[in-house]
Amino acid sequence: MNKTILTDTCFWLGLIDPTDQFHSESTTIVELIEGYQIIFPWPCLYETISTHLTRRRDRLILLEQLISKPNIIFLDDTDYKTEALNQVFQLNRSTGSAYSLTDCVIREILKDINVRIDFMVTFNARDFKDVCDQRFV
**pLDDT tens-digit readout, 39-96:** 999 999 999 999 889 999 999 999 999 999 999 999 999 999 999 999 999 988 887 7
From CA 53, how far away is CA 61, in angstroms rounded?
Answer: 10
Query: Beta strands 4-7 and 37-41: pairing type?
Result: parallel
- Around 83, how many Cα atoms within 13 Å sit in the side-chain half-sphere? 12
Residue ranges per structural domain of the chain: 4-126
Sequence-ordered strand ranges (E) for the chain: 4-7, 37-41, 72-75, 119-121
Q: Is the pLDDT of residue 137 over 80?
A: no
Q: Is the pLDDT of residue 130 over 60?
A: yes
Say which residues have a Cβ less than 8 Å from residue 125's Cβ, sequence separation at least 6.
132
Q: pTM to 2 decimals?
A: 0.92
From CA 5, how far away is CA 125, in angstroms rounded?
Answer: 14
Match domain 4-126 to its CATH number in 3.40.50.1010, 3.50.50.60, 3.40.30.10, 2.60.120.960. Answer: 3.40.50.1010
The pLDDT of residue 118 is: 95
The pLDDT of residue 17 is: 95
Q: Is the pLDDT of residue 1 over 70?
A: no
pLDDT in tens, 6-43: 999 999 999 999 999 999 999 999 999 988 999 999 99
From CA 131, how far away is CA 111, in angstroms rounded?
Answer: 7
From CA 127, how far away is CA 72, in angstroms rounded?
Answer: 23
Q: Is the pLDDT of residue 120 over 70?
A: yes
